[in-house]
Amino acid sequence: MSDFDTGIVHFCQYEGKQYIAIMQTITAEWLQSIEALKEVPLTQLQWMIDNSRHYTLPEGQYLFKGGEPVIGTHILRTGKIRLYMLQNKEIREMYIMLPKDISGSLPFARAATANVSAKVLEDADVMTLPAEKFRQMVSQHFELTEALVHVLTNRVRSFTSLQQQNEKMMALGKLSAGLAHELNNPAAAIVRGSESLTKHLKLGPETFKKLMNMKVEEKDVDLVTNKLFEVLARKDRPKLTLMQRAEQEDEMRDWLDEHSVENSDEIAETFLDYAFTCDDLADLYKHMPQEYLSPVLNWMNQNLVTEKMLQDIQESSQRIFYLVQSVKNFTHMDQGKGKEVIDVHTGIENTLTMLQYKFKKGNTEVIREFDKDLPKIFALVGELNQVWTNLIDNALDAMEAVGRGRLIIKTEKDHEFVKVSIIDNGPGIPEEIISRIFDPFFTTKDIGKGTGMGLDVVSRIVNQHHGSVKVNSEPGKTVFIVCFPIAG
């Protein structure tokens, strides 16, 4: 710390920052008027005053910033300071410091760097007890240490609770954004399909008129309808490559053109969707005059197109229904909050459905290695879903760096436990930080992207269920292993 005097005001420089130093104006009696310090002897409070720095920060200056080393315990005499953190590049206000509030590092705090930033809203007079004085305080001033530790405990409890809520809201935001995207696709398909179907049905009368002018025997009518139902009933339709499909479409179009069938392009495309072949066309042709072939095939085409549109609408509707059911199961709506006997695969599958948009966005392949005979466990459904969400979401974020992700989820019985392994092919977790990843507020993500609470939440939920969670990591393979007791 260095001081210099301009002749008008006194400045001090500390940790590379410049402050306006003020004459000591805080007294031991004033400190004792703070609720948290009211039981601390005046002699100990005077020691704190004598060993602290006293200075003024102008509006717009920072008392400290997130990510910077913590420098000590701060007590605000006058002014106002906002404590906030960045989440998804947005400012989230945590607390407003007012006169007599205590903040910063406190005795026995584990954090080496600040988790939040503190920006001055109104010129602030601050007293800071440097962290290097903590050892002396702990050894010589018991009541002062006890009071500050109590402040720390309350602050961590409230801050953790707020962060947990923020973590849940962030997760909900991610899931809802992805869900909206997933619902939009089938909903849009239904709208398009219904509009196309309406236009398509308007073409029916013209085809019907041509059919009414035909004179055919009942057995020939049965032949046509039976062929149509046979085509619709075909389940094993061969999957064609683009080249194979193009060749077969050309062959069928040529046949139709040779027999003067109108609308040959559309008929060839539709008939191939239902595995119709030129042999089927020839079979029909043997039982009807040439002049009837075109209206009959166009009538069949119209029915098949209608069927295809209805199938698309039905599949889209079922997709929406499935997504809504997944949301209901994921959030555990309409059910109690106590422990239940559950199959872990259900929660994992619901989580995969909820995060489907991230798999598509990251071009990530999912491999399920599930033990179908895995016993059920006694657990809190909603809590377990948080575990799967955090672990899978973290894996997806990690795999962004590799371009094409590969996520393996493996379940198996391990003695009296159900064991779930979540394996990603991301860059891995550096050895020097792997022991800290379950610590509250520790994160390797960019500022604003993560809160550092995800894996802490996982750890607490697993411990609550008397289970265990551990991680093994190397470049190209990170494995999170979660074990839950079968008996609960």
* CB of 107 closer than 8 Å to CB of 137: yes
By C-alpha distance, which of 15, 18, 24, 23 is closest to 71?
Answer: 15
Tokens of 25: 């104006």
Q: What is the per-residue pLDDT across 305-332, written as a single tens digit (0 to 9) for each?
A: 887 788 777 777 776 776 666 566 555 5
Other CB atoms within 10 Å distance of the CB of residue 443: 18
Report pLDDT for 31.
Answer: 94
Q: Between the ranges 20-24, 127-131, 157-161, 198-202, where is the mean pLDDT highest?
A: 127-131
Report pLDDT for 240.
Answer: 74
The residue among 29 and 233 whose pLDDT is bigger is 29
**CATH number of the structural domain 336-485:** 3.30.565.10
Separation of alpha carbons 19 and 54, rounded Å: 9
Q: Between the ranges 170-174, 220-224, 232-236, 396-400, where is the mean pLDDT highest?
A: 396-400
Other CB atoms within 10 Å distance of the CB of residue 255: 17
Amino acid at 413: K
Report pLDDT for 180.
Answer: 65
* Mean pLDDT for all residues in the chain: 78
Q: What is the per-residue pLDDT across 47-63, written as a single tens digit (0 to 9) for each?
A: 999 999 999 999 999 99
Question: 2-140: CATH homologous superfamily?
Answer: Jelly Rolls (2.60.120.10)
User: Is the pLDDT score of 164 beyond 70?
Assistant: no
Phi-psi region of 351 (alpha: psi -120 to 50; beta: other; left: phi over 0): alpha
What is the tally of helices (H) and strands (E) in the chain? 14, 16
Separation of alpha carbons 428 and 442, rounded Å: 16
Q: How far is CA 386 from CA 99, 282, 334, 390, 446, in A?
A: 39, 60, 18, 6, 22
* CB of 470 closer than 8 Å to CB of 482: no
Separation of alpha carbons 468 and 464, rounded Å: 10
The secondary element (H helix, E strand) that includes residue 2 is strand 2-5
User: Which of the four pLDDT bands, split at 50, 70 and 90, describes residue 95?
Assistant: confident
Among 130-144, 229-243, 441-455, the minimum mean pLDDT is found in: 441-455
Q: What is the per-residue pLDDT across 203-246, written as a single tens digit (0 to 9) for each?
A: 555 555 555 555 555 666 666 677 767 766 666 667 778 888 88
Tokens of 147: 């009071």
The residue among 273 and 121 whose pLDDT is bigger is 121
Q: How far is CA 99 from CA 64, 81, 126, in A?
A: 17, 9, 9
Residues spanned by CATH 2.60.120.10 within the chain?
Answer: 2-140
Report pLDDT for 421.
Answer: 96
Amino acid at 177: A
Residues spanned by CATH 3.30.565.10 within the chain?
Answer: 336-485
Report pLDDT for 450.
Answer: 45
Report pLDDT for 284.
Answer: 78
Separation of alpha carbons 11 and 112, rounded Å: 27
Among 298-302, 428-432, 436-440, the minimum mean pLDDT is found in: 436-440
**% of the chain at pLDDT higher than 90:** 27
